[in-house]
Structures are given as C-alpha cells and as structure tokens.
C-alpha cells in the first residue's frame, strides 16, 4: 500500500462484525494509520444486544470521546456496516464525512436467515432489525462506498451452496453474478440504493480485513468519495 499522507483527516471509527472483537479490525486500522488517519476500533456485544442498543452506545461513546464539531468517517465490516446505517439514521446531529462498508448484507443475509431458523442463538439479537434486512434506509446526505468480496471461502458457504442448488432446482434463471458470494454474504446482498460507489474484490468475508487492496480502496474512498476502479464497467 502506498505510504502517502491523505489530505482527508477525519477521525475514522472502525466497527467489527458478528462474533468478532475490535482487535479483528487492527490490521485495517494500521493500514489507515500509515496514511496519516487517526482511527478508533469500536467494540460492542454483537450477540447480546440489538442494533438500536449498538447505535445508542456508539453515540454515548462519541459524546464522551469526540468533539461534535469535528466530522467522523465510519468503516464497518458485515454487521458493523448495518450499525453504521442505523446510527446515521438515528443520530443525524453528528457530522459524518464518508462511510465504507465491507461485506455488509445491506438487503439482509440469506446465510443468517438459515442460521436463525436452525439455531437463533448463533446470530443472537443482531438478527432482528439488522441481518433480516430491515435496517433504516440510507439517509440521502450520507456518502457511502460499498466493498464486496467474491472469493467463496467461509463457514457460511455451506448454506449458500445449498441455497444456490435450491434456486437452480426451482428453475430460477440465475446469472453467474447472482451466485457470487464471499463465503458468507452474496455480492447482490451488499448492494444498496443511494450508495456512491460499489466495488467487488477477490476476497473472502473475513479475509477482506487483512487484504491490502481492500485497505487501499477504503482509504481512497475516504479521501475522494469514490473507489479507484482499474477498469471501466
């Protein structure tokens, strides 16, 4: 990753996903710090609390630790991206610079649906109003960049492979891009109306957190408001 200091210097709040801790965001945080960005790895109880509680506690943390006159950027992985959406909708008083989500199922998670039906405790209280696809719409003033992965490696691939077979058996006219996933989340699930940009990289759901290109693209979006596309669509 190119070690070039960014002109864009908002504080970046990094929010982890389900079954994770703030430490999993450390590799990404270090990459962002090398470009001159100040970061904070925010932690929350992903199973015990619901998404509204996550947002409330993030707001409380900011009230205690951040100057409201200074804008913040938000980067969330998976469920963390849904917390960002809920937070910016419920607390519009904060100055939000730019947001990036990594592997976030913005329209809901098929994988989480299967797990919820089989063993609800595995996804906990973060399923309702979040992974079920019912998070508040993205406010129009938010500049959001979405990074998705299409390397199908992860525990969730068992459910997604089953779901793909089920859809084919039902005769659904599926295109290849509709089957692509990162081992946990379909690429199609990461798309959201109102996003400023969307990019797909060859990474898995968890692997994207230690991938240098993901970090580079996240940095680029935070500075420019769009991703660095190598080819035209």
Task: Spell out the per-residue pLDDT of the chain, length 233, in tens.
Answer: 444 555 667 999 999 999 999 999 999 999 999 989 999 999 999 999 999 999 999 999 999 999 999 999 999 999 999 999 999 999 999 999 999 999 999 999 999 998 898 888 888 998 999 999 999 999 999 999 999 999 998 877 777 877 777 776 666 665 556 788 999 999 999 999 999 999 999 999 999 999 999 999 999 999 999 999 864 43
Give the gyration radius of the chain's Cα atoms: 17
Which tokens is 78 given?
A: 């998976």
Q: Where are the domains of the chain?
A: 11-224
Left if phi > 0, otherwise alpha if psi is -120 to 50, otherwise beta: which for 112? alpha
Give the model's pLDDT for residue 132. Answer: 94
Give the model's pLDDT for residue 17. Answer: 96
Give the model's pLDDT for residue 229. Answer: 80
CATH of 11-224, one of 3.10.620.30, 3.40.50.1470, 3.40.50.1820, 3.40.50.2300: 3.40.50.1820
Cα–Cα distance measured from residue 82 to residue 104, given in angstroms and rounded to the nearest whole number: 7
Backbone angles phi, psi at 188, to 5 degrees: -60, -30
């Amino acid at each position: 990753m190119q070690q070039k200091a960014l002109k864009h210097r908002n504080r970046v709040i990094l929010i982890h996903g389900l079954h994770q801790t703030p430490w999993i965001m450390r590799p990404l945080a270090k990459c962002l710090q090398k470009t001159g960005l100040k970061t904070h790895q925010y932690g929350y109880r992903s199973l015990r609390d619901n998404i509204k509680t996550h947002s409330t506690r993030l707001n409380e943390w900011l009230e205690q630790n951040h100057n409201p006159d200074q804008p913040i950027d938000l980067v969330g992985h998976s469920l963390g991206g849904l917390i960002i959406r809920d937070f910016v909708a419920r607390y519009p008083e904060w100055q939000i610079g730019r947001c990036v989500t990594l592997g976030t199922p913005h329209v809901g998670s098929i994988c989480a649906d299967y797990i919820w039906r089989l063993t609800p405790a595995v996804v906990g209280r973060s399923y309702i109003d979040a992974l079920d696809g019912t998070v508040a719409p993205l406010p129009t003033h938010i500049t959001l960049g979405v990074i998705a992965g299409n390397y199908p490696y992860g525990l969730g691939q068992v459910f997604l492979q089953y779901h793909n077979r089920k859809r084919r058996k039902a005769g659904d006219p599926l295109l290849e891009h509709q089957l692509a996933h990162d081992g946990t989340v379909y690429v199609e699930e990461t798309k959201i109306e109102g996003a400023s940009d969307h990019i797909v990289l060859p990474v898995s759901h968890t692997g994207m957190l230690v991938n240098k290109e993901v970090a580079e693209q996240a940095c680029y979006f935070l500075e420019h408001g769009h991703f660095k596309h190598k080819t035209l669509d």
